[in-house]
Amino acid sequence: MAQEKQPQRKKIEATGQMMKIMSDYFYDLNDAEKSEDRKVAWCTSVGPAELLRAMGFAVHFPENHAAMLGATRMATELIPEANTIGYSPDICSYLTADIGAYLKGVSPLAKAYPGIEAPPHPDILVYNTNQCRDVQDWFSWYAKELDVPCIGITSPKNFTDVSDILIDDVTQQIEALIPTLEKVAGQKLDMQRLSEIVALSRECTELWRQVLETAAAAPAPLSFFDGTIHMGPAVVLRGTPQAVDYYQQLLSELQQRITDGVGAVDGEQHRIYWEGMPVWGRLRQHSELFSGLHANVLVSTYCSSWIFPDFDANDPIRSMAKAYLGLFIVRSDTYKEKYIKEMLEKFHIDGIIYHDAKTCPCNSNSRYGMPQRLEQETGIPSLVISGDLNDLRCVSDEQTRTNVEAFIEQLEERR
Ligand code: SF4
């Protein structure tokens, strides 16, 4: 298939506001580390961030830092640093890149934000294994290295329904974190404050859902690649008014695009679902590859993972447990397949791309027959791309291009 002239990536005007609030967030973290009055907690992406914010912690998310290492293409050279101290090249390349960056004394924050040298030193590390065991190993390494406490939630996994028994379990585990957090924070948990934070997280999540659902329009006003950038505030600022304000602004811009009939990809002809992690170091290339073929990768499981409809300010801790258990990655294949089928219908999808990320089996759903089962049930074809989220040695650009071009050609023949 002859590829046409590369179209420009369409700029989202709200990006400037997002960069500002992200910059404010990183400088605030940096200030918190230096302040005698404030404490810093590190938290996994779907860990109990609401609880930490309610107790006054400034919250750093190592996965966000690791994704920055990937997006700046620093990760691949840093991973071997962690390999030399015993962390396999086959395990999470967020973990190995982040620990590698620490060992090497480098950070993308230093380049992006003058005056910041590295992520803030933690006073406590708090994980939730709802996504994988790697986060616990990752945080445990820092706990030993930096001599700080490491506590967390060991989540049930692979269930279809979020039952009361599971919610009871995680609720109790969240409650059990409170005494240690109070000791480190030097203050008691204020339940009123926690309710306010949970309400803000709920609002953020609802707006983020509406942002992503604008892509149901044809043409879709945003792409998965836009989503991976604009999900930043939903990841690191959920529970704050800044994230809520930001998503109101972004939503209104995207709604205007729908009114004006403006799509993220000019001449959108093929609507694609992305299942799995992004390849952080190839966001631009992948975005241009698809848009050059008039295909819009417009929705994903990954970006939708920061939608938590279960947060409830009237029952904050139990609703947090329910929300963290509702995460896609922690569910059974039965649930996942039902979820993806609903998404395919809602977003009028023509084809699915599965990213089989070498170092993240938990977020690679192409290994146990799911693509074949879904294709049989829906008739929607799929393509599996081998690669990785951060380790570019696992990515073959040529093979990806050839396979994607052939896949889009296959979709064209079906029209
Ligand atoms: S889910 Fe995957 S990418 Fe995320 S921390 Fe776990 S192994 Fe790493």
Structure tokens at 120: 């803030």
Best residue for ligand 1 mutational test, from 128, 132, 138, 279 (most atoms within 8 Å of Cβ): 132
Residue 107 has a pLDDT of 98
Ligand 1: atom nearest CA of 138 is 5
Take atom 2 of ligand 1 and give the residue whose Cα is closest. Answer: 360
Residue 8 has a pLDDT of 61
Q: Rounded to the nearest whole angstrom, what is the distance from the C-alpha of residue 128 to the centroid of ligand 1?
A: 12
Residue 134 in contact with ligand 1 by CB distance below 6 A: yes
Report d(CA 166, CA 154) in Å as an integer: 11
Residue 362 in contact with ligand 1 by CB distance below 6 A: yes
Q: Rounded to the nearest whole angstrom, what is the distance from the C-alpha of residue 69 to the centroid of ligand 1?
A: 14
CB 232 within 8 A of CB 22: yes
Residue 135 in contact with ligand 1 by CB distance below 6 A: yes
Residue 415 has a pLDDT of 82
Report d(CA 220, CA 271) in Å as an integer: 9
Residue 389 in contact with ligand 1 by CB distance below 6 A: yes
Sheet hosting strand 382-387, strand order edge to edge: 295-300, 270-275, 351-357, 382-387
Residue 242 in contact with ligand 1 by CB distance below 6 A: no
Residue 6 has a pLDDT of 61
Residue 10 has a pLDDT of 83
Give the residues across from 272 on adjacent strands.
297, 351
Q: Rounded to the nearest whole angstrom, what is the distance from the C-alpha of residue 133 to the centroid of ligand 1?
A: 8
Residue among 272, 267, 274 at smallest CA distance from 294: 267
Q: Rounded to the nearest whole angstrom, what is the distance from the C-alpha of residue 150 to the centroid of ligand 1?
A: 18
Report d(CA 392, CA 70) in Å as an integer: 9
Ligand 1: atom nearest CA of 389 is 3
Q: Rounded to the nearest whole angstrom, what is the distance from the C-alpha of residue 329 to the centroid of ligand 1?
A: 10
Q: Rounded to the nearest whole angstrom, what is the distance from the C-alpha of residue 355 to the centroid of ligand 1?
A: 14
Q: End-to-end distance of the chain based on CA atoms, in angstroms?
A: 16
Residue 92 in contact with ligand 1 by CB distance below 6 A: yes
Residue 2 has a pLDDT of 43
Ligand 1: atom nearest CA of 133 is 6
Q: Rounded to the nearest whole angstrom, what is the distance from the C-alpha of residue 362 to the centroid of ligand 1?
A: 7
Take atom 8 of ligand 1 and give the residue whose Cα is closest. Answer: 92
Enclosing H/E stretch for 114: none
Take atom 1 of ligand 1 and give the residue whose Cα is closest. Answer: 131
Take atom 5 of ligand 1 and give the residue whose Cα is closest. Answer: 135
What is the full per-residue pLDDT of the chain (415 aa) written as tens digits?
Answer: 444 456 666 899 999 999 999 999 999 999 999 999 999 999 999 999 999 999 999 999 999 999 999 999 999 999 999 999 999 999 999 999 999 999 999 999 999 999 999 999 999 999 999 999 999 999 999 999 999 999 999 999 999 999 999 999 999 999 999 999 999 999 999 999 999 999 999 999 999 999 999 999 999 999 999 999 999 999 999 999 999 999 999 999 999 999 999 999 999 999 999 999 999 999 999 999 999 999 999 999 999 999 999 999 999 999 999 999 999 999 999 999 999 999 999 999 999 999 999 999 999 999 999 999 999 999 999 999 999 999 999 999 999 999 999 999 999 998 8
CB 122 within 8 A of CB 42: yes
Report d(CA 243, CA 225) in Å as an integer: 19
Q: Rounded to the nearest whole angstrom, what is the distance from the C-alpha of residue 302 to the centroid of ligand 1?
A: 12
Residue 1 has a pLDDT of 45
